[in-house]
Structure 1
Amino acid sequence: MVNITEKIKEIETEMARTQKNKATEYHLGLLKGKLARLRAQLLEPAPGAGGGGGQGFDVSKSGDARIALVGFPSVGKSTFLSKITKTKSEIAAYSFTTLTAIPGVLEYGGAEIQILDLPGIIEGAAEGKGRGRQVISAAKTSDMILMVLDATKKAEQRRLLEAELEAVGIRLNREPPNIYLKPKKAGGMKITFQSPPKNIDEKMVFNILRDYKILNCDVLVRDENATVDDFIDTIMAPHRKYIKCLYAYNKVDAISLQHLRELAREPHTVVMSCELDLGIQDVVERCWQTLQLMRIYTKRQGVDPDFSEALIVRTGSTIEDVCDQIHRTLKETFKYAMVWGASAKHVPQRVGLGHVVADEDVVSIISSYRA
């Protein structure tokens, strides 16, 4: 582990010293590829290496979604958890109060959302400092990250946290690169660009693939703005996680009104004061929107729908997904569904498995099953 960390430092030093120009682009690309491999090894050590999650980090995923609270020590994560759930995470006016992953359950919009209060991340977490690897591994299992920041501190705080998450393969508020890569058993490399690329070329792609010992494959780069980092992310896809992130600035009661307005205007950002109970409900509502969850109500033939209990599905879900939520065998006897709500062209509308539902739709599944 120490050797890997030393190698990472050596490569980072070499990259910092190398001036970027056309002559060094290929060398920098190879260094980035090596760096990505070493960081993946550091985060996910080989079986038997004793690099597991650690005591308190193996929290079973439950509910309709999981949100990980990430932030530096003493920014208010534990206080926020205690405000929105019945969980009482230990709170004190000193750093590193929370030493394990503390789970809580937020009930909102008919959904049960698991909130995971992770120990404070410090700079260097990606290299294993302060149980950082375990914290980040737990964050990777979440559907969304709520990055809790101290509004009284410098903007550097957010940049450092983003850099730590980026270093271990967590990509915030981004989509996977529009690059197709399929390894083959033989036939060499076939590299195709859908449009003339602006940041990489065939030689760069070839060198990186060869460095990863991928000698037979098909590559199709669909995005003309794709970078070396995007291509490395495509190769390292099993070690990458693309997660929605909401930035929550706490302690806004201690900053000027002008600074508050500036923070509130930033993308993917909310502001709050846990101490004064300000904006906490706004944060919860933004979490719901970011998770893109929907409520679907079911209805039996001849019976009014039950609005006291909802099925929770993701935005973009279809009738087939609704069937899976009810019972995985329901599709086998499915005939059609009747839908009332925003997704229906007329009310009710008879639809098939591919129909995309909308929030608060009422759905009645008609089955060929006979008891």
Structure 2
Amino acid sequence: MQADLKRRIAKLRAQTQQRKGAARGRPSFHVDKEGAGQIVMVGAPNVGKSTVLRALTNAQPEIADYPFTTRVPLPGMMTYENIQVQLVDLPPITVEFSEGWLFAIIRTADAAALVVDLSTDDLLVQTEQVQSVLGQAKLAIAAAAGEPNEKRGLVVANKLDAPGAAARLVLLREFLGDRLPVFPVSATYGTGVEELRRALFEVLGVIRVYSKPPGRKADTSTPFILRRGATVLDAAEAIHKDFVARLKYARLWGQDEYQGQMVGRDHVLEDGDVLELHA
């Protein structure tokens, strides 16, 4: 079985090398970013991307058993606690043909979710196919994006309810190793969806910080969204640009050791921190 898989993957790579670019004159698409971040959903035909989108958001994509149901990018807003994250279902990626604009959308997104199908024995071949085509477009999905062409992401292993899915999940994790984290779900029945919701938030690499005016309660309904690793000074700039020059000190409520203590401008913030700025 392993030898057969290697032959099929080698053949697939050869086909990918011969793949031609999209024809000129075709329509192009762009999706404006909304919410705390934009995550694109990519995958082979019929892996269930649209079903995952519907399970996580308010979007109502067309869902059918035949391939290429999704022909244009379809965004939906996923609620995670007190914020919204934008998910974008993209047309399928194949060796034979993929629209050029599809890669442009992936390139500008904040993160990517590679959706795969646990119901098929072609699981590993399909996964390799998508990764190979992305590679031809000088793109890659990685657990920790360290290179300019890498997009931070994860794998959504859909159709966990299918016969034989558990065994295929083991093979998938062995195949990917530590390259990408895998989150098994059944989008149809809701299994694993809440765990996936949190994972999608975390893959964005952002934190929520709340502003507390002196002498008043913090507004925890509308957080400021900052990149992970952001400092007090970064938060001050996000809250109001005038704070950057006039900031005297800040008080922080967050982890157990911070209950209103003064912190410096370079203090690194954590998700859920409450910040009181004094100018």
TM-score bucket (shorter structure): 0.7 to 0.9
Maintained 8 Å contact 1:263/1:271: no
Counterpart-to-counterpart distance in 2, 1:358 and 1:314: 10
Deviation string for 1:305-352 (max 9, x for gaps)? 22223222221111122122212333122221111112x855322223
Q: In the alignment, which of 106, 119, 122 is matched to residue 152 of structure 1? A: 119
Counterpart-to-counterpart distance in 2, 1:346 and 1:94: 55
Deviation string for 1:221-264 (max 9, x for gaps)? xxxxxxxxxxxxxxxxxxx4321121111112113344345546
Counterpart-to-counterpart distance in 1, 2:79 and 2:210: 17
Identity %: 30
| Pair 1:84-2:56 in alignment | yes
5+ residue gaps, structure 2: 1-13
Q: Identify which of structures 1 and 2 has the higher relative contact order when contacts are C-alpha pairs closer than 8 Å and 6+ apart.
A: 2
Counterpart-to-counterpart distance in 1, 2:139 and 2:216: 46
CA 1:346 to 1:61, structure 2 compared with 1: closer, same or farther past 3 Å? closer
| Aligned residue in 1 for 2:153 | 245
| Pair 1:351-2:260 in alignment | no
Counterpart-to-counterpart distance in 2, 1:329 and 1:162: 45
Deviation string for 1:159-218 (max 9, x for gaps)? 1111111111213225446xxxxxxxxxxxxxxxxxxxxxxxxxxxxxxxxxxxxxxxxx
| Pair 1:337-2:247 in alignment | no
Deviation string for 1:37-63 (max 9, x for gaps)? xx9xx68xxxxx9668x34x2111222
TM-score (norm. length: structure 2) = 0.82
| Aligned residue in 2 for 1:213 | none
Q: In the alignment, which of 201, 204, 211 is matched to residue 291 of structure 1? A: 204
| Aligned residue in 2 for 1:5 | none
Q: CA deviation at 1:271?
A: 0.6
Counterpart-to-counterpart distance in 1, 2:213 and 2:246: 16
CA 1:98 to 1:338, structure 2 compared with 1: closer, same or farther past 3 Å? same
TM-score (norm. length: structure 1) = 0.63
| More helix by percentage | 1
Letter in 1 for 2:159: K
Q: State the secondary structure of the residue aligned to 1:355.
A: coil
CA 1:313 to 1:109, structure 2 compared with 1: closer, same or farther past 3 Å? farther
Q: State the secondary structure of the residue aligned to 1:296.
A: strand
CA 1:74 to 1:85, structure 2 compared with 1: closer, same or farther past 3 Å? same
Counterpart-to-counterpart distance in 2, 1:242 and 1:51: 28
Point out the structure with max Rg over C-alpha: 1
Counterpart-to-counterpart distance in 2, 1:59 and 1:331: 32
Deviation string for 1:97-148 (max 9, x for gaps)? 1111111111213222111110111114xxxx242x2211111111111011
| Aligned residue in 2 for 1:10 | none
* More moved, 294-303 vs 255-264: 255-264
Maintained 8 Å contact 1:294/1:315: yes
Tell me how large the CA RMSD over aligned residues is: 2.5
Q: In the alignment, which of 77, 85, 91 is matched to residue 105 of structure 1? A: 77
| Aligned residue in 2 for 1:281 | 194
Q: Which runs of 4 or more aligned residues in structure 1 lie more than 6 Å from their structure 2 counterparts after TM superposition?
A: none
Counterpart-to-counterpart distance in 2, 1:260 and 1:175: 24
Q: State the secondary structure of the residue aligned to 1:82.
A: helix
| Pair 1:272-2:272 in alignment | no
